[in-house]
Each structure stands twice: as C-alpha cells, then as structure tokens.
Structure 1
Amino acid sequence: MEKDMTTTLIEKEEIQKYKFVPAEVDGTEAFLSKLSSAQRLGNEFKAKTALTFMTEDGPKRVETTVWSLTEKYLVLKAGVLIPLRSLIDVSY
C-alpha cells in the first residue's frame, strides 16, 4: 500500500466524484485471480468485496459487490468503472 497515506472509506455512490490515478505499483496481474473470485462471490452469493484504489485525493476504500471484470476495468453496480491500474488492494 502507498506509504504515509490514510485510506478513506467511501460509499459506492461516491466513487464517481473522484478522479482515478494509477497506483504506485500496478497490481493488475496479481489481482486478477482475486477479482475473478470476487466477481463470482458477488454474482452468486451477493457477497461484498473491499476494494482500495488510488485517486487524486489519495487512496479510497469501498465495500461493494463486483459485477463484472474487463481487461482494464472492474465493473460495479450502475456501470461504475474502476481502472484495474488504480487498485491497491482487494479483500473479501
């Protein structure tokens, strides 16, 4: 995780208020397996995943259901997209 930065928990409805920036380290490859599992958990069991991502305002964290996964984006409810390159952490 990024050094010396406090992660702020936000509601999924607030995500679009922030401008995404790439994380210090691109963890896309490392997260793909976890994101695939998170998608299955969301679709089959309505389970939430904690996603931490980097914005211009610092790291933000949201607990939500992962609906879909593309080559470059994580898709949440209502078509909200999070660039995979901005992800810092994925946990469930």
Structure 2
Amino acid sequence: MKDLSSTQFFQVESGPQIQAKDILEIVYKALSEKGYNPVNQIVGYIMSGDPTYITSHNGARSLIMKMERDELVEEMLKTYIEHNGWV
C-alpha cells in the first residue's frame, strides 16, 4: 500500500507543438478541397478573428484557433521575405 501522507507527483508530457507553417498548410489544403479561395478566407480570419472564415473540414478551424493570429501573420511575412531574398 502507498504512503498516503506524502504528496504524489504527476507529470504530463506535452506532445509535439505544431508550427504556424504547418497549420497554414493544413488549413490552405482544407479550404482548397472544399472549393474556397484559401487566401481570401485566411485573410478574412486574420483580419476579423471570426473562425467561421475557416472550414471545419479536416479539423482546420479548430487547428487554426490553436495559434494566435499575429503568429500566423509573422510566419507568412517571414516566409515572404525569405522567398524574395530580402535577408
């Protein structure tokens, strides 16, 4: 029998953290599959914060809400700058 007078420790290991670029890729594909213009829909979400701009297909809506909108913009801008060779 365990000693009930001492505090027991419980540690939960967090799973791998998904990155903004992965979220954007998954959401982009889900929007395309459903026939939406992914750029327009993602911009609508980022500007308004309204998650209904993003389809729930393949869990895209719940996934995009796991990351702050400013982090998504930061990832897009960083990728754009790198793609254009500005750094």
TM range (shorter): under 0.3
Query: In proportion to residue count, which structure has more helix?
Result: 2
TM-score (norm 1): 0.25
When Rg is computed on C-alpha atoms for both structures, the one with the higher figure is: 2
Instruction: Specify which structure has the higher proportion of strand.
Output: 1
Bigger relative contact order (CA 8 A; separation at least 6) = 1
